[in-house]
Amino acid sequence: MAENIGVIKQKLQAAALSELPVLLSAYGADERAGVQTALAQARKRLLDHEKEVQRTQALWCYEREYSAYANICGIDEVGRGPLAGPVVAGAVILPKDCDILYINDSKKLSEKKREELYEIIMEKAVAVGLGYSAPARIDEINILQATYEAMREAIAKLEITPDILLNDAVTIPQVKIRQIPIIKGDAKSISIGAASIVAKVTRDRLMVQYDEIYPMYGFASNKGYGAQAHIDALKKYGPSPIHRKSFITHFCEV
């Protein structure tokens, strides 16, 4: 008697990727439509995984190019554009045998995937540093200088001193370590991508906490960016203590 189609589907769906080739071989001759559909889905899982492995391998190109350096650190920031909240910089040193998949520019990932990857990166990274520049500091020295300051802080907080820095587009002043600026580096370098995810999740979590203190601005959803509801709240309530005064002069008095 043929095995129940539902049971076969469950086996294929529950199987680890390493188990799928054996199952595909075992059920490949079963011509029932339901089984063939389940097999096609399993083959797609394998193909998607292989594509992701290849994509991730391509993200190691800069790390391979500079592999003579022991500790390669990726640097990125988030929060240069918002009207409120800090700019946050991340610095991440990954192990050279790191096997994390799905790292990418944090903006290209869903919130759920970023959160998942954040936990994995924090667990597997050789070292992680975070730097912050508060809204008042941004107003004082401008967003670019505040971003550099946050990046220097992130580097300083690493438990291991990097031998080389892979930066997303910028060269950070007052840093003696060799730097390699990479345009759109968060989508080209595994280390910079990891830094962008750590910085993004850290900042988003901060903005959710600020939302509990200043609920009228919707920080939990807009993360301080200039969404229309946020701008409307600014016009109605005026700025909060975490608004960047130099960013909001078009919307309200400061």
How does pLDDT run across 216-240, given as a tens digit for each residue?
Answer: 999 999 999 999 999 999 999 999 9
Specify the pLDDT at position 1: 63
**45: amino acid identity, one letter:** R
Q: Are 10 and 42 in contact (CB under 8 A)?
A: no
Domains recognised in the chain with CATH numbers = 5-58 (no CATH), 61-209 (3.30.420.10)
State how far the Cα of 24 lies from the Cα of 40, in Å rounded to an integer. Answer: 9
| Distance, first Cα to last Cα, the chain | 78
CB atoms within 10 A of CB 136: 14
For the full predicted model, state whether its pTM sits above 0.95: no
Specify the pLDDT at position 102: 94
Q: Are 253 and 147 in contact (CB under 8 A)?
A: no
pLDDT less than 50: residues of the chain: none
Specify the pLDDT at position 103: 95
Q: Are 223 and 205 in contact (CB under 8 A)?
A: no
Crossing angle of the two packed helices 20-27 and 33-58, in degrees rounded to 10: 150
Q: How many residues are present in the chain?
A: 254
